[in-house]
């Protein structure tokens, strides 16, 4: 049932969580970073973020690491997660390029 990496469209929350885990962060750090990156537009609630992290760990896209700053659990992206994220960036770029080219009848 595994979808090929190229066909996956990520939800906004998952995309931003993966993006924030380019460096290890704990839950609160992820929430703050995502809010900052999106200028306050994407606000991940605690229960939702917990569910997203659990399912990403299950998929093997992120993993829990020993937190450098005491008892708080930190997460980091895995190699699999990184390739999913990069494939998504290619897909998003295609959407943006086609959008720029075709919106408003600006045909080549």
Partner 1 sequence: MTTKTIYRVYVDYEKEEQWLNEMAEQGWLLERFKIGRYVFSKGEPGAYMYRIELLEELPNHPKSTAYLEFLDEMEIEVVDTSFRWIFLRKRTENGPFHLYSDFDSMIAKTNRVLQLYQLVLLVNIIAICINVIGPFAVWVIWPNLALAAFIAYLIQQQTRKLRTLKGLRAIAEQD
Q: Which residues bind partner 1 (CB under 8 A)?
A: 8-14, 26-28, 31, 43-51, 72-73
**Residue 4 beta carbon to partner 1: minimum distance, rounded to whole angstroms:** 14
Nearer to partner 1, 9 or 89 (CB): 9
**Residue 105 beta carbon to partner 1: minimum distance, rounded to whole angstroms:** 25
CA distance 12 to 35: 12
**Residue 104 beta carbon to partner 1: minimum distance, rounded to whole angstroms:** 22
Nearer to partner 1, 47 or 108 (CB): 47
Residue 7: phi and psi, rounded to 5, are: -90, 0
Angle formed by the axes of helices 27-37 and 46-59, nearest 10°: 110
Nearer to partner 1, 74 or 78 (CB): 74
């Amino acid at each position: 049932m595994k979808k090929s990496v190229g066909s996956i469209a990520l939800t906004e929350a998952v995309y931003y969580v993966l993006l924030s885990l380019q460096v290890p962060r704990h839950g609160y750090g992820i929430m703050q970073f995502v809010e900052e990156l999106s200028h306050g537009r994407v606000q991940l609630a605690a229960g939702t973020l917990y569910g997203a992290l659990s399912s990403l760990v299950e998929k093997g896209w992120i993993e829990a690491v020993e937190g450098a700053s005491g008892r708080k659990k930190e997460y980091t992206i895995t190699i699999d997660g990184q390739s999913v994220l990069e494939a998504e960036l290619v897909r998003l770029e295609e959407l943006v390029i086609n959008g720029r080219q075709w919106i408003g009848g600006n045909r080549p």
